[in-house]
Amino acid sequence: EAGVAQSPRYKIIEKRQSVAFWCNPISGHATLYWYQQILGQGPKLLIQFQNNGVVDDSQLPKDRFSAERLKGVDSTLKIQPAKLEDSAVYLCASSLEVLADTQYFGPGTRLTVL
């Protein structure tokens, strides 16, 4: 079974630029999550999708972050404009359904904002 795919794996941008990350969850997984993991900390949930609807985006900084999951499969997370403090690893995870216990994580995208 293929795992969660993410791209790119690394990205370096300058502050005020825009960046987008892509995630392809495990086939058949209805629930998709985006997390931000700052160096030395645990992942922090940014947004949770159930199919193509948003379940929870309470911790998403909506003035600069946006995410979508068109057709309920792939998802993109965008930052516009980026700030220095956005430097982190962005992890995508998926689970079979919103009440499923196990989340499967992708390898992450390491973002560096200069």
- Three-class DSSP labels, 51-95: CCEEEECCCCCCCCEEEECHHHCCEEEEECCCCHHHCEEEEEEEE
Q: Is 57 in the site for another protein (CB under 8 A)?
A: no
Tell which one of 106, 109, 111, 113 touches another protein (CB under 8 A).
Answer: 106
Integer angstrom CA distances of residue 35 from 1, 18, 67:
23, 18, 12
Site for another protein in 35-54 (CB under 8 A): 40-45, 48
In the window 84-103, what residues touch another protein (CB under 8 A)?
91, 93, 95, 98-103
Closest CB to another protein among residues 74, 105: 105
Contact assessment for residue 31 and residue 99, using Cβ atoms and an 8 Å cutoff: no
Q: Which is nearer to another protein, 27 or 42 (CB)?
A: 42
Q: Which residues bind another protein (CB under 8 A)?
A: 31, 40-45, 48, 55-56, 59, 91, 93, 95, 98-108
